[in-house]
Amino acid sequence: MRNEEFSNICRSADAGSEIWVQNLDLLYSGRVVACHDDFVTVEAFGSRHDWEAERCRPVDRGRDPLGPPTSH
């Protein structure tokens, strides 16, 4: 996502809005709970994950997940 979009998402999440993003590599979505550096921390599948902001896009609530992430 663009820097301006990232900033807007972070401000909205900090203000308590429920913001969802999709990871373009994993195709999983999660609710943004925090932002730091160039990452968004999302809550998905019962735990928190840090995703690179540039590899995410905003989506409507609850979009898609194909299943929980697995460790390889």
Structure tokens at 51: 């995703």
Whether pLDDT at 66 is above 90: no
Structure tokens at 42: 């999302």
Q: Residues, the chain, total? A: 72
Residue 68 lies in a domain: no
Number of domains in the chain: 1
For 49, the 3-state DSSP assignment is strand
Residue 15 lies in a domain: yes
Over residues 16-57, the pLDDT tens digits come to 999 999 999 998 899 999 999 999 999 988 899 999 999 999
Residue 67 lies in a domain: no
Structure tokens at 16: 């308590």
Residue 14 lies in a domain: yes
State the residue range of the domain holding 18. 3-59
CATH number at 39 reads: 2.30.30
